[in-house]
């Protein structure tokens, strides 16, 4: 955004940003197992790391959430050992801090769902990407992760809970951060980037976000988690 426009909109964005989290209902994290083992076949050890979307906020059970939707597909022909470390409102630095307090355990793959809370908090792109790199390095070293699946940023510019011009500003910012995340991931042999883009034939193509998001207008609903889990499982199965 040009500096002049950012300065002009600054007061409005600040007020809308402050009110946003005051007005969005705090939905609970879903019930269900956050670690376990399912399926039969070759072993796959999966660590899921994230914020409220990684934790599954917006649905009632972990079976409907990102974890459950991903694991259920993988377990069709594998024995999946899984563990979920995701918390409501977490940023990348907070997640890193949390992981450093956990008991180390080896995993084959990690699925990461993070980044939006850092953007809404105004974290600069260079620091955001640096903390993402640090997080991935922690997964490699502390949890012996061999491959990391990073989720692209969702289309926050379409979230019905966010008013304009804040919606427009956050959407524009998220696209810039997401492009930087993909560019970095493409340079790393052990990182796979998955996006939220849709094309004709995709289940959510041309579906208004308001129809598939949770009732708070900010978190994913069951259909989004289902498609997200499908894309994550495809990446993990390759």
Convert the pLDDT of each residue in 200-230 to its tens digit. Answer: 999 999 999 999 999 999 999 999 999 999 9
pLDDT at 27 over 60: yes
Rg (alpha carbons) of the chain, rounded to whole number: 18
> Average pLDDT, whole number, for the chain?
93
Q: Pick from 161, 167, 119: which is nearest to 13 by CA?
A: 167
Q: What is the pLDDT of residue 21?
A: 72
pLDDT at 14: 72
pLDDT, tens digit, 9 for 90 and up, residues 159-187: 999 999 999 999 999 999 999 999 999 99
Cβ(66)–Cβ(79) under 8 Å? Answer: no
Q: What angle do CA 179, 185, 191 make, to 5 degrees?
A: 145
**31 pLDDT band (50/70/90 cuts)?**
very high
**According to CATH, what is the number of the domain 39-237?**
3.40.50.1110
Cα 47 to Cα 82, 89, 93, 99, 195: the distances in Å are 6, 19, 18, 11, 19
User: Tens digit of pLDDT for each residue in 69-86?
Assistant: 999 999 999 999 999 999
Overall pTM > 0.85:
yes
pLDDT digits (tens, 9 = 90+) for 86-97: 999 999 999 999
Nearest partner of 154 among 105, 108, 212, 77, judged by Cα: 212
pLDDT band at 1 (very low <50, low <70, confident <90, very high): very low
Cβ proximity of 68 and 58 under 8 Å: no
Token pair in block for residue 211: 């129809």
């Amino acid at each position: 955004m040009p500096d002049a426009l950012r300065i002009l909109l600054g007061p409005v964005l600040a007020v809308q940003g402050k009110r946003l989290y005051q007005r969005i209902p705090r939905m609970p994290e879903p019930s269900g197992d956050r670690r376990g083992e399912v399926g039969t076949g070759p072993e796959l050890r999966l660590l899921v790391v994230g914020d409220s979307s990684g934790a599954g906020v917006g649905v009632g059970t972990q079976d409907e959430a990102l974890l459950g939707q991903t694991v259920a597909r993988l377990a069709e022909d594998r024995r999946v050992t899984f563990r979920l470390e995701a918390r409501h409102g977490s940023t990348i630095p907070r997640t890193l801090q949390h992981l450093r307090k956990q008991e180390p355990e080896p995993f084959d793959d990690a699925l990461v769902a993070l980044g939006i809370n850092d953007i809404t908090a105004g974290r600069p792109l260079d620091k955001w990407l640096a903390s993402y790199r640090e997080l991935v390095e922690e997964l490699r070293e502390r949890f012996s992760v061999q491959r990391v699946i990073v989720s692209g940023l969702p289309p926050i510019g379409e979230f019905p809970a966010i008013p304009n011009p804040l919606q427009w500003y956050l959407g524009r910012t998220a696209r810039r951060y997401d492009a930087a995340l993909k560019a970095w991931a493409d340079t790393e042999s052990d990182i796979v980037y998955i996006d939220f883009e849709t094309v004709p034939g995709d289940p959510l193509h041309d579906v208004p976000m308001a129809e598939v998001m949770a009732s708070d207008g900010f978190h994913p609903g069951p259909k989004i988690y289902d498609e997200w889990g499908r894309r994550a499982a495809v990446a993990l199965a390759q």
